[in-house]
Structure 1
Amino acid sequence: MMPFMERSAGMSRKTFISILALLLVFSISLVGCSNQESMSPAEDSEPKDSEVVQHNGENEEGIEEQSDIKEEKQAETKYEEEKTEEVGEVQEASEDAEDNRSLNEESNEENISESNAGGSEETNTESLKEHQENVVYISVNRLNVRTDSRADSKTLGSLGKGNEVTVIEEVKNEETTWYKIRYENAEGSNEGWVSSEYTVKDIHELLSSPTIFQDEEMNTYFTSSTLFDDHTVIAYYGHPNSEIMGIVGRHSKEELISLLQKTSEKYDAVNEDKSVIPAIYLVYGTVQPRGEISTMSFDLVMSYIETAYKNGVLVYLDHQIGKHDPVNAINETLPFLRFPNVHLAIDPEWRTDKPMKEVGYVTGEELNAIQNKMREYMTTNEIEGKRQLVFHQFLDSMIHDIEAVSVDYDPVWLVHNTSGWGPPEGKIATHTRNAKATNIPYKGFKLWYFYSNKPGVHFDNPLMTPEQVLELNPAPGLIIYQ
């Protein structure tokens, strides 16, 4: 049977790719998405709970963004604009200013290139132990990484606030203490020098309150070894700066959690076997042209993690991989596992340097390697609880050698999620096909709310009810609404 995204539209693969390209154009347009033109009352439909409610043209409480989220979006928009500039232009601007700016100015420079030093190296338990003993975190928005322990040495790239690095050498040059660091990002493993002035030893020093994650009752709840045996997860998906990418971008955090809890209650009412736990699913790393990745800022991510924690809500951080090695793609999201309500995800669809021309993939061995890296990080850093790793699939070609995938990476909990939009019969057919991968028993299922009739904006028609979703075989343990 053809995958539902092709079959439901009755189109060729070439046409499917063309539509996918159009979808990508909308998906990556994070900048300015909050200023889209208003739709007519008939089109301006907001998903409420598990159904679609048509607006009557009047302003609905909670639909407009709150002032705090607007400020976050403005700050993030500025960051995204800088991230998507041509690398050559950014490097040239950085070099021209090199001789005239102080170390303090360098540490806060936002308009500079991403780090590109070094290559990939295999992570092992011994190196992770060293990392744990000497780890520090970047404390400013952008900090230059240099070739030597001098402010006038060449810039290799930069690190962002919250990035985790390992100190391998320390020297004092005049009044400044410099760290030689090793760090891992989507490019792989790298080394360079940074000023120690702009680092902290404890990541909690970067939070709105250093004691926010010290609720013992909440921590016990989030890290229970039977959390996913006892609960079905109901998640809302998207990016805070994009209304088109999902429901997350159409509401303030407070409004989002209120709606999410109501949706969870609907599932709880018909779910006889398990309780329900709500979650927010953030697209942390969004693919850009040529496979570049634009990531959310640390402060924006933490604003969701903190709010979710206070309300008993999980958070998933999804990386779309792009041109990068998928095993390296999770390097920047691993440190967020230090917070008890955080889980990770990757999206094979966007593992490509031609995101407008082809659908990406990962291999079974790559999924195993990602799980292994995640397990090693958790073990070395003594991170408690089970942590899920989600991957999406709607085409057979998205997972090569799926039979090679293992789930023997405890405490990592692998989730095989059925993605894609369309009518119920097509979605069910795709889920049934994915269910044949019995070596990955824990399944997920994604639904798409109606948002707009504009070309390239997709949705399920009709949206499946909670009863229909729970009747799937196998019943999904993770249910995502986009």
Structure 2
Amino acid sequence: MRHSFLLNAGLLSLGLSLSLTLLPGCGSRSGTDSEKSTADSTATGGPATPAPVDTIKLKMEALRRDSLKADSIAKVNGQLPGAILPGHRIIAFYGNIRSKGMGILGREPKEQMFRKFEGVLKEWQAADPSIPVQAALHNVTITAQGTAGKDGKWRLMNSKATIEEVISWAREHKCILFLDVQPGHSTLEAELPKLEPYLKQPDIHLGIDPEFSLSTMPGVRPNQKIGTLDAKDVNFTVNFLARIVSENHLPPKVLTVHRFTRKMITNYKKIKLDPRVQIVMHMDGHGEPTLKKDSYHDYIQTEPVQYTGFKLFYEYDARPKPHHIMTPTEVLTQLTPKPLYIQYQ
């Protein structure tokens, strides 16, 4: 890993302030018409016209200072307060609660699924008692579509009712929640702001899926080709989440980035870390164990960013026989580094 942090437990507020103090300028030039007009107006008791304030620039400067403060806290304490990683291993069930075809989340009836999930959590805790498991649901919330739609973007966002329902499922079962984005022919810049009201909540995190990011491939339908994101897209997402963390005094967000080919993420060395966002590069491919381990080595281990993840497929990993779904013990003993995010689809 490029960076390694220790856990500073407890869901505490970051206490990072965005208040600004505007100081009078100095060293300004004199003698322009506008300056003479202002001076004359002031001398005669008339109102002076205030100089325009670049509020965007001021806000960005505040966030920059906030980032420096976050960096200093992380350097002193090893991690920001409330960080989930690396002090926990996240175990997630993935899918969409309105679809039986996207994953275990939604495929089985709710209570049956959660009974299965309880068993999986116990297996992982038994396989590595040294680190507590953190249960998670990972709901594909903006989903690539087989038709273009009215705006031609090939994606559709879950309804407010669906999102609120999966939030209630997660909280009922003490899970954190990931909202996953498949942008289709749209962009992260256009789609992520739609999720901001939910991401302002401390137990809701984010996933982005390059496989279904096709804005650079005109005319290509989702599933025809594997999409791609660049480091600049990941950095945009990190900055987006970091701002939400700072403005709402939240613990760090976890960001999962799906990957199972080299071209899915380009220029990985340019991805910039921020202590307010914990990046998980997640090996998302299916198949027999040797293929999955090779993909993890080639695209996750040898191109490190921060933390690592690994996906297990209930349907695809076990076919054809005698292939099988890797057990927690197999994952932990056969992968380096040991992934801290495990997802079941």
Q: TM-score, normalised by structure 1?
A: 0.51
Which residue of 371, 392, 402 maps to 2:238? 371
Task: Verify the 8 A CA contact 1:235 1:481 in the aligned structure 2.
Answer: yes
Which residue of 185, 204, 224 maps to 1:357? 224
Structure-2 residue corresponding to 1:325:
187
Pairwise CA distance, 1:230: 1.8
**Aligned residue identity for 1:240:** I
Query: Where in structure 2 are the equivalents of 1:430-445 lying within 5 Å?
Result: 430-433=295-298, 434-438=300-304, 440-445=305-310
Structure-1 residue corresponding to 2:51:
none
Change (3 A) 1:468 1:326: same
- Cα distance in structure 1, aligned partners of 2:201 and 2:94: 19
Query: Where in structure 2 are the equivalents of 1:287-298 lying within 5 Å?
Result: 287-288=144-145, 289-290=147-148, 291-298=153-160
**Identity level (%):** 26
**Aligned residue identity for 1:311:** H
Structure-1 residue corresponding to 2:248:
381
Task: State whether structure 2 residue 172 is matched by structure 1 residue 284.
Answer: no
Pairwise CA distance, 1:339: 2.3
- Cα distance in structure 2, aligned partners of 1:328 and 1:258: 37
Secondary structure of the corresponding residue to residue 229 of structure 1: coil
Task: State whether structure 2 residue 309 is matched by structure 1 residue 426.
Answer: no
Task: Verify the 8 A CA contact 1:424 1:460 in the aligned structure 2.
Answer: no
**Aligned residue identity for 2:167:** I
Task: Verify the 8 A CA contact 2:317 2:323 in the aligned structure 1.
Answer: no
CA-to-aligned-CA distance 1:13-69 (integer Å, 9 cap, x gap)? xxxxxxxxxxxxxxxxxxxxxxxxxxxxxxxxxxxxxxxxxxxxxxxxxxxxxxxxx
Structure-2 residue corresponding to 1:338:
200
Structure-1 residue corresponding to 2:269:
403
Secondary structure of the corresponding residue to residue 281 of structure 1: strand
- Cα distance in structure 1, aligned partners of 2:244 and 2:286: 34
Secondary structure of the corresponding residue to residue 85 of structure 2: helix
Change (3 A) 1:334 1:356: same
Query: Where in structure 2 are the equivalents of 1:165-180 lying within 5 Å?
Result: none
Structure-2 residue corresponding to 1:126:
59
Q: How many residues align?
A: 261
CA-to-aligned-CA distance 1:169-225 (integer Å, 9 cap, x gap)? xxxxxxxxxxxxxxxxxxxxxxxxxxxxxxxxxxxxxxxxxxxxxxxxxxxxxx962
**Aligned residue identity for 2:270:** A
**Aligned residue identity for 1:401:** N
**Aligned residue identity for 2:337:** P
Pairwise CA distance, 1:248: 0.9
Secondary structure of the corresponding residue to residue 230 of structure 1: coil
Secondary structure of the corresponding residue to residue 114 of structure 2: helix
Pairwise CA distance, 1:371: 0.4
Unaligned runs of 5+ in 2: 1-55, 63-79
Task: Verify the 8 A CA contact 1:293 1:321 in the aligned structure 2.
Answer: yes
- Of 472-481 and 302-311, more deviation after overlay is shown by 302-311
- Cα distance in structure 1, aligned partners of 2:275 and 2:310: 22
Change (3 A) 1:460 1:128: farther
Which residue of 127, 130, 151 maps to 1:270? 127
Structure-1 residue corresponding to 2:85:
228
Task: Verify the 8 A CA contact 1:284 1:317 in the aligned structure 2.
Answer: yes
Secondary structure of the corresponding residue to residue 371 of structure 1: helix
- Cα distance in structure 2, aligned partners of 1:396 and 1:342: 28
Secondary structure of the corresponding residue to residue 403 of structure 1: helix
Unaligned runs of 5+ in 1: 1-122, 130-222
Pairwise CA distance, 1:330: 1.4
Change (3 A) 1:417 1:240: same
- Cα distance in structure 1, aligned partners of 2:110 and 2:162: 11
- Cα distance in structure 2, aligned partners of 1:225 and 1:322: 33
- Cα distance in structure 2, aligned partners of 1:328 and 1:241: 24
Task: Verify the 8 A CA contact 1:422 1:459 in the aligned structure 2.
Answer: no
Task: State whether structure 2 residue 162 is matched by structure 1 residue 300.
Answer: yes
Task: Verify the 8 A CA contact 1:125 1:380 in the aligned structure 2.
Answer: no
**Aligned residue identity for 1:411:** R
Task: State whether structure 2 residue 327 is matched by structure 1 residue 462.
Answer: no
- Cα distance in structure 2, aligned partners of 1:394 and 1:460: 23
Q: CA RMSD in A?
A: 2.6
Query: Where in structure 2 are the equivalents of 1:63-78 lying within 5 Å?
Result: none
Structure-1 residue corresponding to 2:35:
none
Task: Verify the 8 A CA contact 1:445 1:480 in the aligned structure 2.
Answer: yes
- Cα distance in structure 2, aligned partners of 1:127 and 1:376: 9
Change (3 A) 1:481 1:264: same
Secondary structure of the corresponding residue to residue 410 of structure 1: coil
